[in-house]
Amino acid sequence: MQKLSQHTAILIFSRTAREEAHVKQFGRHLSAAQNLKIAQLLIRRTRRMAKRTRLPVFTVSGGQQRGRTFGQRFTNAIADVFDKGYDQVITIGSDCPALTPQILLDAQQQLQRGKIVTGADHSGGIYFLGISRQHFLRQTLANIPWQSGQDFDSIRQYADQLQIELAAGSMLIDVDDARDLKRVVQGGHANCDLLKKLRQLLQYARISVSCPVWFPQFAFPNACGLRGPPVYPVG
């Protein structure tokens, strides 16, 4: 095993781009190829963003995942990173364009202070989870009702059961469907490069189909300004 230069690793746990495009419809007038392109843009942006933290980054997607349920696949992936010798793991998905390196580095600091770290998305799920080896109860975490809109509340209860302080970040948007993508594009909830590419893709789709895409206007107020790091209140 190589010598670890960091105690914390980032785990990108997600579907493949093709799986994302199959499960999610980012716009009802988008072609299959355009839908796939959006999924690819989100995944590539996530990987570049994670690498900018200069923390070790591991990706587990598609057929690399092991387990019957989401909870089993998720916790197996986390356990595999711990098995590599890391003491803390920050897991992220691939569909939160407003997630920044600074948010992840702030989460690392909270982990080093003995806390569990998470952040709620707009639908009751979570867009990241930071946990230390000592607080990782594999079976308990696997049995959480994941993808039910109760993820954040379940993590809060998990921390309460362990009597561990939970550090919660600001609420961000996960892109799960066309409405979420509209909010991201119109609200500037992503970096400039991603917004530009999404805007070009959606404008092209609007021209190339007989019925106009229901993204009526593309407004970018303060689109280039990244959101500040979240405030972590005492749980």
The tens digit of pLDDT for each residue in 185-204 reads 877 655 667 777 777 777 66
The answer as to whether 193 is a domain residue is no
Of 165, 121, 117, which is closest to residue 147 (Cα–Cα)?
121
Phi (first) and psi of residue 162, to 5 degrees: -85, -5
The answer as to whether 203 is a domain residue is no
The answer as to whether 194 is a domain residue is no
Q: Is 130 exposed, middle or buried (0-12, 13-18, 19+ CB in 10 A)?
A: buried
The answer as to whether 2 is a domain residue is no
In the chain, the amino acid numbered 63 is G
The answer as to whether 133 is a domain residue is yes
Does residue 152 have a pLDDT over 70? Answer: yes
Which DSSP symbol is given to 67? S
Span of 13-22, 97-106, 211-220, 225-234 with lowest mean pLDDT: 211-220
**H or E segment to which residue 24 belongs:** none
| pTM of the shown model | 0.82
Q: How many domains does the chain have?
A: 1
pLDDT tens per residue, range 12-64 = 999 999 999 999 988 877 889 989 999 999 999 999 999 999 999 999 999 99
Count helices and strands (H / E) in the chain: 8, 6
The answer as to whether 69 is a domain residue is yes
The answer as to whether 125 is a domain residue is yes
Structure tokens at 19: 């799986």
User: How far apart are alpha carbons 220 and 185 in whole angstroms?
Assistant: 7
